[in-house]
């Protein structure tokens, strides 16, 4: 299988997958939760699911900094785990409000996303800067 060159955060499969999962969470789970969860579970699921693709995009801008991008990937992994947990809580606490199958699909999707993020982080740990020019000739007077 031919690997696609990554020139943008949009080229990362985990970005696309997390963006689609975010839409499912925001459109199909959050609105179904009771109003009593407005400032808790609704808010948390909304914020954490939106944060994942945002942090991937923001972190990718620092791809030239090994530690910079890895810090973002750590944060993204935490948000992914948090989103997965919120989906679990949604189905377990409010099975009469939310679609259990959608929650289960989302939980599985965030499991895959977390694994992809882990593999991306591991691959980035092998990051090496492209060779640089060691000698720059002095300009002629």
- 74 CB-near residues (< 8 Å, 6+ apart): 121
Supply the pTM of this predicted model: 0.84
Distance CA 25, CA 94 (A): 15
* Sequence spans of domains, the chain: 23-124
Instruction: Round to whole Å and give the CA distance between 75 and 11.
Output: 20
pLDDT for position 44: 97
pLDDT of residue 127: 58
For residue 95, the tally of other CB atoms under 10 A from its CB is 11
- CATH homologous superfamily, domain 23-124: 23S rRNA-intervening sequence (1.20.1440.60)
> For residue 1, what pLDDT is reported?
60
* Residue in 27, 30, 52, 28 with CA at minimum distance from that of residue 41: 30
Tell me if 60 sits within 8 A of 79, measured CB to CB: no
State the CB neighbour count (10 A cutoff) for residue 125: 10
Residues of the chain with pLDDT under 70: 1-2, 127-141
The conformation of residue 26, written as its DSSP 8-state character, comes to I
């Amino acid at each position: 299988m031919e690997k696609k060159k990554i020139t943008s955060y949009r080229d990362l499969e985990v970005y696309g997958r997390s963006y689609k999962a975010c839409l499912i969470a925001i459109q199909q789970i959050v609105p179904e939760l009771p109003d009593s969860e407005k400032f808790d579970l609704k808010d948390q699921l909304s914020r954490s699911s939106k944060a994942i693709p945002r942090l991937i995009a923001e972190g990718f801008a620092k791809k030239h900094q090994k530690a910079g991008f890895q810090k973002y990937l750590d944060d993204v992994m935490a948000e992914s785990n948090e989103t997965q947990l919120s989906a679990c809580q949604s189905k377990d606490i409010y099975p009469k409000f939310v679609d259990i199958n959608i929650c289960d699909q989302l939980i599985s999707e965030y499991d895959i996303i977390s694994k992809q993020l882990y593999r991306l982080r591991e691959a980035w740990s092998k990051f090496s800067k492209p060779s640089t020019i060691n000698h720059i000739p002095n300009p002629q007077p």
